[in-house]
Amino acid sequence: MSYDAVIVGAGILGSSVAYFASENGLKVAVIEKEKEPGIHSTYRNTGVVHRPFYLNPLKRKASAFAASRSYPFLKKFVEENGLYWNQLGTLEVATDPEGAKVIGDYERWARENGMEEDEFQILDDKGIISEEPNVRGKLAFLSMTDSVVNFKQISEKMIEVSESKGTSVFYGCRTESVSSDGEVSCSCNGSEKKISGKAVVVAAGGETFNLATKNGLKGYAQLHFRGDYWKLSEEKGKLFRRNIYTVPRFPNFPFLDPHIIKRHTGGTEIGPNAFLVPGPYDYQGTLSKILKNAFGSGEGPFSVKARLFRDAEFMRLVFADWKISLFKSSLMRKVSEFAVGITEADALGKGISGIRHNIIDERGFLSEPFFYINGRALFVLNYNSPGATGSPWYASVILTALKNRGLLQAIYANLVINDESEALAVKALG
């Protein structure tokens, strides 16, 4: 079977690529190993459509741009299709003078990343209490436009619309390898299948790295960081009106601190931390996973990971976040730095954990997503937060990159609309 575009993975990114490709008349196939779209990171995340105030434009310009450009598209798509959207807002709190300086950076970055003046406010300690009576801090950034969604629901709808335009979706099909001439070899419910495309996009979350290394990618390794969430009792959940984040403890690493979040289900949860786990699907188990790391964590050569494991600050983060997963008291100590009125007894049990798949090179973490392109195959790596928010823009960038290489012929009415985004797209190619 031969298609214009073959997409491996029906998470929010693969679904977005399928949506735009089929909207533009391409013959599309999606290959998904599970029985439905979006059951991994797309479902197991915080569910926030992020505004880009916290993204330093010097380091994370492409992600900031992706979040900015994707926001109006997502809002319209959700509205038009009757999906969940709750513009609750996010309060990002600094609890010490060091953090207060970062709030100043956020104000600058918000403007530089294109947020409108009426989208945000800076609050002092009294302002924080008047907005959120159970939150304490020195200074805070209030984003009024951050919104709570269900990314799995969005992904499902994108696939549904794409199928209505002729896209074939192969569920229960695990991709084993992707060749540079556009052939995808899969194992579909026990039988071998080959599906070819003029272009292949690999958006397979935690498995993209292995598929890319089989295809020749060298010089990188991958580590997995699980985010655990804890459910807050309904009564205590009512103490907080919106998502409450704090300025991250470890700004050199790509993780936010555990925060209070409002779910599309109506519940309130605390999380996620960044718990180093050995594999891409280690959603359960705590002590057993900590011990398993001793036999090797993640994928790729140890020589690439060695520098990071010798970095004292990184090891502090690893141990601090293992502690949070092991002991509820540790999580609560962290949260009580900014939230009052909740105790360990109010964290009822674990919610649904999700796993980030971070690519590192010999210098450490890569801060942005990047593409590895070999012939007709494009692999999307390091596609982490705010990846779900930025998927529509990244999908457009991917299709534009394939068109610019002469692999796809259609003209795209997509989100890559001016020279600046073209330039960023090239940068995103890494």
Residue 36 interacts with ligand FAD (CB under 6 A): yes or no: no
DSSP 156-204: HHHHHHHHHTT-EEEETEEEEEE-TTSEEEEEETTEEEEEEEEEEEE--
**Helices 312-326 and 302-309 sit at what angle, rounded to 10 degrees?**
90
Q: At its nearest, how many Å lie between ligand FAD and the CB of residue 390?
A: 7
Q: At its nearest, how many Å lie between ligand FAD and the CB of residue 10?
A: 5
Instruction: Name the token pair of 115.
Output: 């947020």
Binding mask 256-275 for ligand FAD (x = CB under 6 A): ----------------x---
Instruction: Name the token pair of 283.
Output: 């959603």
Q: Could you say which of 6, 7, 12, 270 contacts ligand FAD (CB under 6 A)?
A: 12
Q: At its nearest, how many Å lie between ligand FAD and the CB of residue 125?
A: 27
Nearer to ligand FAD, 104 or 386 (CB): 386
Nearer to ligand FAD, 389 or 421 (CB): 389
Binding mask 386-415 for ligand FAD (x = CB under 6 A): xxxx--------------------------
Residue 197 interacts with ligand FAD (CB under 6 A): yes or no: no
Residue type, 76: K
Residue 42 interacts with ligand FAD (CB under 6 A): yes or no: yes
Q: Is 155 within 8 Å of 38 (Cβ atoms)?
A: yes
DSSP 35-78: SSS--STTTSS--EE--GGGS-TTT-HHHHHHHHHHHHHHHHHH
Q: Which of residues 328-387 bind ligand FAD (CB under 6 A)?
A: 354-356, 383-387
Q: Which of residues 48-107 bind ligand FAD (CB under 6 A)?
A: 48, 50
Q: Could you say which of 78, 135, 169, 204 contacts ligand FAD (CB under 6 A)?
A: 204
Instruction: Name the token pair of 222.
Output: 């991958």
Q: At its nearest, how many Å lie between ligand FAD and the CB of residue 59?
A: 17
Q: N- to C-terminal Cα distance for the chain?
A: 32
By the criterion CB under 6 A, which residues form the site for ligand FAD? Answer: 8-14, 31-34, 38-42, 44-48, 50, 174-175, 203-205, 207, 227, 272, 354-356, 383-389
